[in-house]
Structures are given as structure tokens and as C-alpha cells.
Amino acid sequence: MDNMTRRVFAGAAALAALGVVTGAAAQQPVKIGVIYPLSGNSASAGNYSKMAIEVGADVVNNGNAELAKIMPIAKGGGLSGLGGAKIQLIFADNQGTPAAGQNQALRLISEEKVAAIIGAYQSGITVTASAIAERHGIPFLTAESVAANLTERGFKWFFRTTPVAIDFARAYSTFLREQKAAGQKVGSVALVHENTEYGNSVASVIAEQFAKDGLPVTQKIAYSANSSDVQPQVLQLKEKNPDVAIFISYTSDAILYTKTMKELGWKPAIMIADNAGFNDPAFVKSLGGSVEGLVNRSTFAGGKPGSVPELFNELYKKKTGGDSLDDVSARGLQGFLVMADAINRAGSTDPAKIRDALKATNLPASQMVTGYEGVKFDDKGQNILASTLITQMRGGQYVAIWPKDRATAQIVLPYKGW
């Protein structure tokens, strides 16, 4: 028995020694924490984003020949700046509550010893999770939370790649002024928005930007998203007959407006929808044919063959079994790629070096999965090159029409509708 024990110990010691040797030879993986809603109300968005980021990590770790021609980080073999260290993703579920988000951030930092964190989808959860990262001095990057105050907290470890309301307003404004220059009439603009936080805030940001740029907002119509009848609102529009109508709506009201406008036979020359309801797959499937020529926004709308968005989309489709990247999952993937690039340049898992590398980030538009002009952070951590693509409904799906260098189709005006 004694002998036996000794032999077992000797064997174990030998194995352990072997482990130490091989461990020293291969680079330690770099851990990146990812906090997403993997259960609860937003679980669907969270799980799609999780898969998108897994695709990104796979490209960094194992390489992709086509992508490597455009972005150096896709050469494969891990992070070259860290001697080929692989990226290891540690996912955590925020359960849709600010408390769980913060608890998980602490766990990722203190137990998993992650080098940086990406997350957390819902703005309220990004608030609490990033506060913990800030106190522990760990870089935190949000790829999709848009609440304006996130970058106003004076944080030193916080970065945001996604565009926010003001970026969308600027895109609409530039787009419309270009149409005006091309001879389209944009003498009057109507803003039709649902009356909670989302609709109110986006509408007021657009109104402010348009006033600055000399685009006349002549009509503002606020309505309740769960009203069952929008005839009065459409009649108001019909009476004033604005050249441009911008709709900031959720799904059921988007459906209602589309049907009511068809019934009452009114349409503007340019109809713009602010993502949300008009982008809902349910809306596109059932009413895509009734809004031919509808202008919309999205940070993702496919891309030309051989471009970064197109290549990533193909990889993603393979992983999900057919689902394409969408506005949310593409932004998540973009955030991850920015983080991977920064860690690679930092050449270290030291949080302070990663933060400095993030600050020095300067990625060109050609390397973007999303429709950003690139990635470059200001002092507050906001990506100043964040932008959006403008899309148009063509034969049941949205295609990118603006900006011109990333458009896959020519714009067709006026709005055709049904």
C-alpha cells in the first residue's frame, strides 16, 4: 500500500512537472470577459451577439486567408503582439438586471482575471458593470449601449464604439442635404415619434441637428406606441403633406402606420424610418412589400463581395446555420475586433497598457464590419468615427445606399410604397 501510494505520487509529480514545462512553452491565453443578456427579455439579442464574437475570436485564433488580406489581425495564430497568445472568451449572463451585471463584472475581474471586458447590451447594465471595471482599473468597452450619459461620467477606462443618437441625426441630415443638392425637394420635414424615452429623445436630437443644418422641421407628431388607431396622425400628415417624413416607431405601430397610409393613400416623397420597428424581421416579412423604397438606417447591411462585412457574414452564417449578422450582432463583433486589435498592439495583458492601446486606436473604414467611418476614441472614450449606413427597402430587403463608397445599390426616389 505504502509503495503504491508512493508510486502514485511520483506519477502525479511527473505529470505535474510535464504540465509546467508545456505550460511554459505555450503562451498563456488572453482572457476577455464578455457580459451579455443570455437569459431574460433580451436573451435573443445577447445570444446572437455571443455567436458573432465567437466568430471573431475564431478568426483571430485560427486565421482566415481572405480577411487577412484586409485586416492584419486575421492572419491566424493568435495575437502576434503577445507571441501568438490565443484569445479566450469568458461569457457571463447579466440576466437583464443591473445587479447581476455588476456582480458578474466583479467575478470576471477578480476570479477569472480577465484583461478587459466587453458588454453589456442594456445601457442600465453597462452603467453598473463599467463602474466596477473603473474602480478596479480594467478596460471596459461597450459595443451597443447608446445612453448619452455613459461617456459623460469622467471614466478613464471606458470606451464605446457604437454610434449614438446624435450620429444618426447627423447621418440623416447629411443624407437629406445631399438629396437636396441632387434636386430632390426637402422643403418640409415631419417627425412622427412614439412618446416614450426612445421616441422623444431621438426626435429632439434630430430636430436640434436639423435646425443647425437649415432643414426645416415643420411638423412634430407624438403618439403612443400601443395605440390601436393612427388615422388622426396620418390625416394630419396628409393635410400638411411634408416632403420628408421620419418615423421613430416600435413594431406594432410601424405596422399600423404602414397599413393606414396605404388605406388613406398618402405618402411623402422621402420616407425615413429610424431602425427599431421598421427593422423588426416580423415587420419586414409581413409588410416589406408595402414599403418599397423606405429609407432606413442600420450599422450593418451586408457588403460588396470580398469586403470585411461580407466575409464575416459568411462565417457567421456558417456558425448560426443561415442567420445573417444584424445591426446588434455586427456592432458586438466590431467591438470585439477593436478590443483584440488593442490588446495585440499593447503586446501585454496589463490593463493599463491595453487602455493606452485603446486610446491610440485608429482603424480605417475598410476594416469595419459595421458601417462606421472607422474607430478612433475621443477623451471621453466615444468613437468619433462612429456612423451608420443608410439603407433602402428593395424587393423585400434592405440594401445599403449611403455613404456612396460602401453602398451596394443606387438610391431610388421618390418613395414608392405599395
Partner 1 sequence: MKRYLFPGVVLVLAYPLLAAGYPVWERLGALVLLAAIGASAWNIVGGYAGQVSVGHAVFFGFGAYSAVVVYTHLGWPPIAGAPIGMLLSVAVAAVIGVPTLRLSGHYFSMATIAVAELVRVLSSTSEFLGGAQGLTGPAMPRTVFDLSFLSATPFYYIFLAVLAFLLGLTWWIERGRMGFYLRAIKDSERAARSLGVSAGRYKLYAYMLSGAFTSLAGSLYLCMFGFVDPESGFGILISVKMVVMAALGGAGQLFGPLVGALILVPLEELSNSYLGGRGAGLTFVVYGAIIVIIARFLPSGLLSLFERRSAKPAAKSEIASGHAD
Q: What does the binding site for partner 1 look like in residue numbers (CB under 8 A)? A: 36, 38-39, 43, 46-47, 50, 90-93, 95, 97-100, 102-104, 106-107, 109-111, 123-124, 127-128, 131, 134-136, 147, 149, 153-155, 196-198
Q: Which is nearer to partner 1, 51 or 264 (CB)?
A: 51
Least gap, CB of 41 to partner 1 (angstroms): 9
Least gap, CB of 142 to partner 1 (angstroms): 14
Q: Which is nearer to partner 1, 131 or 269 (CB)?
A: 131
Least gap, CB of 207 to partner 1 (angstroms): 17
Least gap, CB of 105 to partner 1 (angstroms): 11
C-alpha cell at 259: 397599413
From the list 34, 15, 6, the residue with the least C-alpha distance to 120 is 34
Q: Which is nearer to partner 1, 12 or 99 (CB)?
A: 99
Least gap, CB of 132 to partner 1 (angstroms): 9
Least gap, CB of 125 to partner 1 (angstroms): 8
Q: Which is nearer to partner 1, 151 or 383 (CB)?
A: 151
How distant, in Å, are the alpha carbons of 187, 195, 239 from that of 89?
Answer: 51, 39, 56
Q: Which is nearer to partner 1, 64 or 95 (CB)?
A: 95
Question: Cβ contacts of residue 192 below 8 Å, gap of 6+?
Answer: 221, 223, 233, 237, 245, 246, 247, 248, 249, 257
Q: Which is nearer to partner 1, 242 or 351 (CB)?
A: 351
Q: Does the CA dihedral 281-287-293-296 come out positive or negative?
A: negative
Q: Read out DSSP for 47-113?
A: HHHHHHHHHHHHHHHH--HHHHTT-GGGGSSSBGGGTSBPEEEEEEE-TT-HHHHHHHHHHHHHTS-
Distance, in Å, from the CA atom of 382 to the CA atom of 385, rounded to the nearest integer, reads: 9
